[in-house]
Structure 1
Amino acid sequence: MVDIHCHILPGLDDGAVEKSVAQEMAAMAVSDGITHIVATPHSNYRYQFDPAVNRSKRDALQQEIGESPTLLLGCDFHLSYENLEAVRVDPGRFTINGKQYLLVEFADMNIPPNMDQVFFDLFGQGLVPIITHPERNPLLLENPEKIRKWIELGCLVQVTAGSFLGRFGKRAHHCAYQLLRHQMVHFIASDAHNASSRPPLLAEARKAIAADQGEQVAAALSEANPRATVAGQPLPWLPEPQPLSPPRRWFSLRR
């Protein structure tokens, strides 16, 4: 499997706090069946994103852990004026493995009203936005049809593996399955930050997805699509998103 969203590089953000934690995360990932990890440090108002520093950290960690898992570089790209200006100057600065796919994270309490135009600008630079963990975003939970609209524009969606297992609460759990059942998930990823509460694991979520939607879908979300992404190729599995139920019904929990 390939994990396209993981905060494994030590000392860069709120992920691995030191080298030993990063090494433990790498070992856990290998035991779980993960062969490649995209290291995605935050780029936001709290953490400076420096590709040269990231590359140096990646190279050092790769040497320490050996050949597996293979570590690639990306970014947890937060929407800000500074980031959007930087990506206009150098579109490949923040992308997964220097290709065209870009992880995009919304703030919990603010989604810019001009998001369609922001996405069109990114498309115009040859980039493909991957919206990260929308099932955990309070604003998108209230208006999930936005997600389908953005997919129809050309965006992709990554859901956190732990959301399928209830580790981010009932609403995120329910939302993850609704997105899955309406063909609005293109990747699962760990969004791991440590080796304890936020570990780099995908296998259990993959098994849950296979039980719900079949092995072909589970393999697409954890293997085929992520591998295409790190290679800069079109996704082999790209279903047509289906309309969602109205929000009131969408989040009614079964008793």
Structure 2
Amino acid sequence: MFDVHHHLLYGLDDGPKTLEDSIAQAEAAAADGITHVVCTPHASHRYDFLPEVNAERLAELRAVLAERNIPLTLAQGCDFHITYDNIEDAKKHPSRYSINGKQYILIELPEQFLQNAVSNAQTELMSARMIPVLTHPERNMSIQRDPGRIRHWVADGMLVQVTAGSLLGEFGKTARAISNRYVEDHWATIVATDAHNTTSRPPNLRPAYQYLSQNFGEETARRLCITNPQRIFEGEALGPQPYPRGIDDHDEPSGGFRGGFLRRLFGR
């Protein structure tokens, strides 16, 4: 399985604190059946985003995993917060922030946000040939009050990542209901762990895969946990996807992406 949202590099944010913590988390991920991880430290006002340090920690961890025969392939990315400075820098240096230096970029919503600001950020990033992947919207308080709020972003080409733990109720009943709805209506593109440690936020993707297989079918489980995240990891086009239900029920979104991009993405 491919986990494209995972706080694995130590000493950078609210993830593991030491190298040994990172190693223990990597061992837990491999034991869960995860084969590939994108290391995604926060790029936010709270945590300095230091690409050179990130690269050093990634190289260090790769070397230790190889030495200890831990079968985990690592790549660099980030948990990209929507700020003016981030967006401007990402437009100039997209590979600094994107998943594995390719075309996809994880973006996280602030707790309070303006709809137009997110739409503008999406337009700016896509104009720079990046495809935004919205991380865990089901856990955002504003989205919880109106789960359909992401409709226009999805219609304009934004992909959606739900958290493995949300599907299982680990982030509360509301997050569980919304994440399951996004899967059922085909708004969710991938499932990821958003792991931070081995205790309260462990890298458990296998239970979510099993849950998806039992409740939505094996094809859905493979698409959300293996096929789509692998293509995102490798920077490839997703190929035809199940068309999101309810996307066409409202007014035509602005931005100019939907007419071509959405139909190419979902094979319509």
Under TM normalisation by the shorter chain, which class is it? over 0.9
2:130 matched to 1:127? yes
Q: Which residue of 2 aligns with 1:29?
A: 29
1:90 is aligned, of 81, 85, 93, to 93
| Identical positions, percent | 39
SS in 2 for 1:200: coil
Q: Please report how far the alpha carbon of residue 236 of structure 1 lies from its aligned counterpart in structure 2 after TM superposition.
A: 3.5
Corresponding letter in the other structure for 1:38: V
1:234 is aligned, of 228, 232, 237, to 237
The CA RMSD over aligned residues, in Å, is 1.4
2:200 matched to 1:197? yes
Q: Please report how far the alpha carbon of residue 112 of structure 1 lies from its aligned counterpart in structure 2 after TM superposition.
A: 4.8
TM-score by length of 1: 0.93
Choose 112-121 or 95-104, whichever is displaced more. Answer: 112-121
SS in 1 for 2:116: coil
TM-score by length of 2: 0.88
Structure 1 runs (4+) deviating above 3 angstroms are none
Structure 2 residue runs without a partner (length 5+): 248-268
| Counterparts of 1:48 and 1:238, CA distance in 2 | 36
Q: In the alignment, is the contact (CA less than 8 A) between 1:74 and 1:98 conserved in 2?
A: yes
2:154 matched to 1:151? yes
Q: In the alignment, is the contact (CA less than 8 A) between 1:220 and 1:237 conserved in 2?
A: no
2:186 is aligned, of 175, 183, 186, to 183
Q: Which residue of 2 aligns with 1:42?
A: 42
Corresponding letter in the other structure for 1:32: D
2:143 is aligned, of 131, 137, 140, to 140
1:78 is aligned, of 76, 81, 95, to 81
Q: Which residue of 1 aligns with 2:15?
A: 15
1:104 is aligned, of 107, 110, 115, to 107
| Counterparts of 2:124 and 2:149, CA distance in 1 | 18
| Counterparts of 2:23 and 2:187, CA distance in 1 | 33
Q: In the alignment, is the contact (CA less than 8 A) between 2:30 and 2:72 conserved in 1?
A: yes
| Counterparts of 2:8 and 2:44, CA distance in 1 | 17
Q: Please report how far the alpha carbon of residue 177 of structure 1 lies from its aligned counterpart in structure 2 after TM superposition.
A: 0.6
Aligned length: 245
SS in 1 for 2:142: helix
| Counterparts of 1:237 and 1:209, CA distance in 2 | 20
Q: Deviations over 1:222-241 (max 9, x none)?
A: 10001101111011452211
Corresponding letter in the other structure for 2:195: A
